[in-house]
Amino acid sequence: MAIAKLLPTGVFDLGTRMESWENRRAAGKALRHAAPLESHAKYTPGKNRPDPLKLLAKSNAGRQAHLVPLRMGRMASSPFAFLRGSACVMASDLSVSPISGIPVVMCGDAHINNFGMYGTPQREVVFDLNDFDEAVVGPWEWDLKRMVASVNVAGRQNGLNRRERAAAVKRAVEGYRLNVTRLQNMGILDVWYLHAHPGRMNPIAKVDVKSKAVISKTVAKALRTDNRALLPKVADRQGDAKWTLRNDPPVLTTIPRATKEKVIEGLNRYSASIGFERRMMLGRYHISDIAHRVVGIGSVGTRAYLALLFGTGDNDPLFLQVKECVPAAHAPYLPPLSKEIRHDGMRVVIGQRALQASSDPMLGYTEIDGRPYLVRQMKNLKASMPVEFLTGSSFNFYAWACGAILARAHSRTGDPARIAGYCGKSDALDEALAQWAESYGDQTEEDHATLLASIKRGATKADIQSDDES
């Protein structure tokens, strides 16, 4: 396995020499005999395909029951929203698809809305993967297929016809292939040093004028999105007293004092999961208030809290998100992770640090009432590309960029030479996945219609509200 040379005891074995990249590329190419590139083109739901609503109901188990209708309502808003919220459904479908046999640390939920901009510790805005709740060790192509399915379904929502959707998907796969080929003989540490800075992130593709304009606007938005900007939007100063988070249901709601104390205890324990130097920095802050905050689509119903902290004064706020982590959607179909990372909060943190070029310095994990949680900054120069408004060249370029970023993310823990050898130099994989994505787009629309019908006859409870990004 090319993930890491770990012995069962967890001790590194640095005595094994890696083969040349040429030999590893050849080994990747040889894997096509067992799983030809063309085999990825066909998507046919099996006779025993699980009912998607039953899979979603299973994923709702253990969530806060009063918020489950909100999750289902958000998923009902469109086929793309359904795709975003149904990672468990797609995981089941992918589990019976052809597999190349090359593992990576995979995102598990690499749809195109889970790419975006955020700030590095050096306060530079970069473009990268941005959600790791489903991170796990698995086949690289599962991530790529989820991404191209999202390109297809988002393209439908944006009014693209079948030919235009196919072109966008092929651009996404091309971006993946070209970048993994570029990285196949690059030094391992050099790959880990790579960052995608918007506006200068394209050594292998030109950016069209329309895409440049969209990128510039998104970067400008990211630079305005920080802790200070968020404060007046969600909190109020009670005279000379402390700041309190504003009650704004269903997104932001107050919680009992006993729950706040448990979250504070969890944050105190979380400090042990970050570096000692960051622990010293964190210790200079104090908590002003904590509230429950609903996030995203697929995460709705999980327990998620927003903690407001202050350092040197009112101009030094810090928002920490404390988000419950549930088992990864792909976990039932993959070998279990090592016992050292069975904690789902740790799994998400490791996945993020493995896949992102630069991670939030406040990233860590904890437990509250025996449940695993992720802790991170709520606003960290974050901004998403306006996917719903992209068409033509800008949509195609964004699809390409997501493919290229996904390739770099996989190359950090997987073997880019083997992946590049498997993908090949031709457009065979591009064509195959364009066909697959179109078929899976049809499946997504069918599943979405099934949800709507269930809501209409009263079998599924749904609370229709506006979507809110995590």
Q: Kindly report, residue by residue over 11-34, the tens digit of the pLDDT.
A: 667 888 899 999 999 999 999 999
Cα 188 to Cα 199: distance, rounded to the nearest angstrom: 25
What is the percentage of the chain residues whose pLDDT exceeds 70?
Answer: 95
pLDDT at 465: 65
Question: Does 62 have pLDDT greater than 80?
Answer: yes
Contacts of 351 (CB under 8 A, 6+ apart): 105, 107, 108, 132, 135, 136
pLDDT at 202: 54
CA distances from 393 to 96, 149, 213, 451, 453 (A): 34, 19, 12, 33, 36
pLDDT at 346: 95
Question: Does 470 have pLDDT greater than 60?
Answer: no
pLDDT at 2: 40
CA angle 52, 89, 41 (to 5 degrees): 115
Cα 168 to Cα 392: distance, rounded to the nearest angstrom: 9
Model confidence pLDDT, tens digit, residues 68-105: 999 999 999 999 999 999 999 999 999 999 999 999 99
Q: Which residue has the tokens 């793309």?
A: 80
Average pLDDT along the chain: 92
Domain ranges in the chain are 36-223+382-456, 227-377
Rounded mean pLDDT of 417-424? 98
What is the percentage of the chain residues whose pLDDT exceeds 90?
Answer: 83
pLDDT at 7: 44
Question: Does 231 have pLDDT greater than 80?
Answer: yes
Q: How confident is the model at residue 47 (pLDDT cuts 50, 70, 90)?
A: confident
Cα 446 to Cα 351: distance, rounded to the nearest angstrom: 32
pLDDT at 358: 93
Of the candidate ranges 23-37, 124-138, 333-347, 407-421, the one whose mean pLDDT is the lowest: 333-347
pLDDT at 467: 46
Rounded mean pLDDT of 118-134? 92
Contacts of 378 (CB under 8 A, 6+ apart): 227, 230, 306, 319, 320, 321
- Cα torsion through 260, 266, 269, 273, rounded to 10: -130
CA angle 41, 128, 435 (to 5 degrees): 10
